[in-house]
Amino acid sequence: MKLRIKDLSFVTGGAFVSIMNSTDAREIDLHPGDRILISMNNKKIISVVDLSEDEKIKKGEIGLFDEILDYLKTRKGYVNVKIAKRLKSLGYIKKKLEGKKLNRKEIFEIIKDINSNNLNEVELTYFVSGCYSHGLSMHEIEDMTDAIVKAGHRLKLKKHPIVDKHCIGGVPGNRTTMIVVPIIASLGITMPKTSSRAISSPAGTSDTMEALANVSFEVNEIKRIVEKINGCIVWGGVVDLASADDKMIKVRNPLRLDPEGLLLASIMAKKKAVNASHVLIDIPIGKNAKIERKKEALKLKRRFIELGKDLSIKVKVIITDGKQPIGNGIGPVLEARDVLNVLMGNGPMDLRKKGIRMAAEILRMLKIKNPKKKALDSLNSGKAYEKMKEIIKAQKGHIFRPEQLKLAKFNKNIHSTRSGIVKEINNKDVSKIARTAGAPVDKKAGIYLNKKLRDKVKKDELLFTVYASSQKRLNYALELVKERNPYVIS
């Protein structure tokens, strides 16, 4: 069937979608949700089809969204349309939902269809749910990591070593990446950091860095930045670097699903995509962290190291204290303020210490003498801060000082109702309150913590401040504070 293109001038942000007139659809027995093969000038694309019952899409027309038009490199003309064969990957997704193991060919087929936008969000969610419910074997994780890397581009740098780091998450704050990258890069070592956005936290590294500079760049631009200044802090989702993973993260986000197998494949695929030779993994453990018991952490550590060997990456895993948030600011702007303060010689001491420790661990992996002293010297001399300014400038940013970052208009101070010592700060409740206030979508929203574990507190003393950009958002967050105040004082 030959149909005239109607430009819908809209981005779906997901699977390829087209709209046909219901009369045309009936002629070839198409139903909503079926897939069609659209071809034009030797270009072919599979699209999910929706039907128009009114005259918005006339008989003989096909409405195409921007993603398809960009792929076909046209905004007008005619396309050939026919029913597409059922995707093999759908059968494999069903197999995973039934708890069966997938082989290499099946995993590669699923990842290929994810990367090609052939699967819609419902189908992708089924796959993630299958991985969450039934887990992934080590062979499946290795194959998935390999498939994610091979489905996208790789950052090809003529440098060695190339180092990287990653924290598995679960602890609010913890913006060590934005301290480690400038320290390492200031010492002449290459560290191209591609990060994801927040899944279940009030901010990811990309969300926080975006408060200072652009994080969305094409692969060639990232390469140019890194070759010039040794480092970058960018979002991996905008480029075709392990992009299949970022599509899975998008559907993991609403349900806060972070299955171990996908976590391992996600992290290591990104490291392989930037050709990292050495990777430091941070696994925080503690009550209300993502990993609460050391036994779980040690199991995950072994799997990271095993996967690193399979990918020819030297991996070191450190298990750190995750009993409370790292830093004081929770939310993109508040966390960016903490980072800049640390780089300028002030800032939260726990964030500073952890940043130095992680930079030193990376230098130790490279067999560099006096690693902690070198990391400290970079920070204390101002070299790390100057390098961060270079990174911000290279990423088209213009914010270099904490006072340039404006906080949300509405705020409320929360005071202690009793005197005593801070016995617990619930990570999950801190995250929930900050997200309810609007973070990370609203970069100015979040929480600022004034007290940490083991601090002495007097009755009516300030514990934390909640920031939101509307009174309604602030009220929602304050209702949650009443239900789930994250501080336990006794």
Catalytic amino acids?
Answer: 258
Residues 6+ apart with CB under 8 A from 15: 48, 117, 118, 119, 120, 121
Classify residue 364 by burial, with Cβ atoms within 10 Å: 0-12, 13-18, 19+. Answer: middle
Report which DSSP code applies to 87: P
371 strand-pairing partners: none
Angle among Cα 468, 472, 474 to the nearest 5 degrees reads 35
CA dist 100 → 93, 129, 245, 261, 375 (Å): 10, 13, 21, 15, 47
CA dist 111 → 104, 124, 243, 281, 348 (Å): 11, 10, 10, 25, 41
Q: Do residues 424 and 488 lie in contact, with contact meaning Cβ atoms separated by under 8 Å?
A: yes
Distance CA 230, CA 279 (A): 16
Length of the chain: 490
Q: Do residues 292 and 165 lie in contact, with contact meaning Cβ atoms separated by under 8 Å?
A: no
Structure tokens at 282: 């941070």
Neighbours of 312 (CB within 10 A): 8
DSSP for 338-365, please give it.
HHHHHHTT-S-HHHHHHHHHHHHHHHHH
Q: Is the dihedral of CA 226, 247, 33, 53 positive or negative?
A: negative
Structure tokens at 317: 């895993």
Q: Do residues 231 and 191 lie in contact, with contact meaning Cβ atoms separated by under 8 Å?
A: yes
Q: Which helix (H) or strand (E) is 234 found in, with range? A: strand 231-235
Structure tokens at 307: 């996967």
Distance CA 364, CA 374 (A): 11
Question: Token match 């230098």: residue?
Answer: 363
